[in-house]
Structure 1
């Protein structure tokens, strides 16, 4: 359900920005009082201004009552807790793109081959339908099969309801976990 909401928000944003661009073009052709030179200068100034996405993320997370900490070695890596789950956002002030990670939230022992097989099948099913993807890694030293979730998206400051947009993106991670649980349950019944 939240994936559908996220998709609707993204489509609405694309429509909003394309419509906004069309209106600006129509105003210019209808005899706008601004000269073409000053409009070009304003557009260049807008393009030269960095997006400040990292700063926007920090501000929005604080509005969502999240305590944010920044890694010393990498100031673009933000750590926070949202609804009891630990998340990481990689965001730069020079790009609109962010990567959201929910690390190490499901672990299967490597010696449980049947469960690993069921989890991998569930992952493949879910990744076909969700914008938030599940990835796994194998920690051989600790003999663990570990799941992480990831989402890459844009976060422009001009987006209407940007706080709600970020909240919907984060909530989608919980939806993916629920789907995984349901898929594993179905796989286990079949086995």
Structure 2
């Protein structure tokens, strides 16, 4: 009888020792089964991400702009009365924003060498890059353009806030260049309201040339005519 009692006690001790492990194992299996059922039965609620083009168009519309896609696949739009266009590649989270033909200057203008120095100085301290180029080789009229390469996704900074911040920075850069030219004795000629034409998006920079503003000093123009 003693042997039987000893065996019974031993079995009881082993059972008590193993019971916590058995409970943990059963609980783990039950939780795993519940999670598996939830994955199979609950539909995904995460909103699919927009494509680069969809995000651009959606953001511009929220800002009150009217985006239009041109022949080259770029998206043109007006912001605060000025023309911009945005180039992109699908599935690539980087975009290039252009502020084309925001100003012009004649190739013979004596201010041109100073303008180059001003633009170089502003480019060093700004994430907006300004360049100037003629539409065709040999043209007397030189266009001034600014551009910016930026990361643009739904993650991080709100897309609408992000884009507005950059577009406003273009105006800051433009104004900084104009103010520096003014300090050198030049003034910005106001655009003749009677010569404005209807905005049409066509291929290349030419689409925006008609809205450019000359950076000319009226006094210099009169002196050149003498």
The two structures have a TM-score, normalised by structure 2, of: 0.57
Q: Give ranges in structure 1 of 5+ residues lacking alignment.
A: 1-32, 35-48
> Residue 51 of structure 1: CA displacement?
6.7
Whole-Å separation in 2 of the counterparts to 1:138 and 1:81 = 23
Residue 53 in 1 paired to residue 49 in 2?
no
Q: Give ranges in structure 2 of 5+ residues lacking alignment.
A: 1-30, 33-47, 187-226
- Structural mapping, 1:123-138, within 5 Å: 123-138=119-134
Deviation by residue 1:1-21 (Cα, 9 ceiling, x = unmatched): xxxxxxxxxxxxxxxxxxxxx
2:91 aligned residue (84, 94, 98) = 94
Deviation by residue 1:139-189 (Cα, 9 ceiling, x = unmatched): 445411211000001101112322101100111000011100111122338
Q: Who is 1:82 aligned against?
A: 79
Whole-Å separation in 2 of the counterparts to 1:149 and 1:188 = 23
Q: Who is 1:156 aligned against?
A: 153
Q: Who is 1:37 aligned against?
A: none
Q: Who is 1:65 aligned against?
A: 64
> Residue 55 of structure 1: CA displacement?
1.2
The answer to whether the Cα contact below 8 Å between 1:55 and 1:93 also exists between their aligned partners in 2 is no
SS at match of 1:174: helix
Q: Who is 1:118 aligned against?
A: 114
The two structures have a TM-score, normalised by structure 1, of: 0.67
Whole-Å separation in 1 of the counterparts to 2:168 and 2:52 = 20
SS at match of 1:159: coil
Larger Rg: 2
Deviation by residue 1:21-52 (Cα, 9 ceiling, x = unmatched): xxxxxxxxxxxx99xxxxxxxxxxxxxx9872
> Residue 110 of structure 1: CA displacement?
1.0
Q: Who is 2:181 aligned against?
A: 184
Deviation by residue 1:99-144 (Cα, 9 ceiling, x = unmatched): 00011111111111x2111211110110000111101113445411
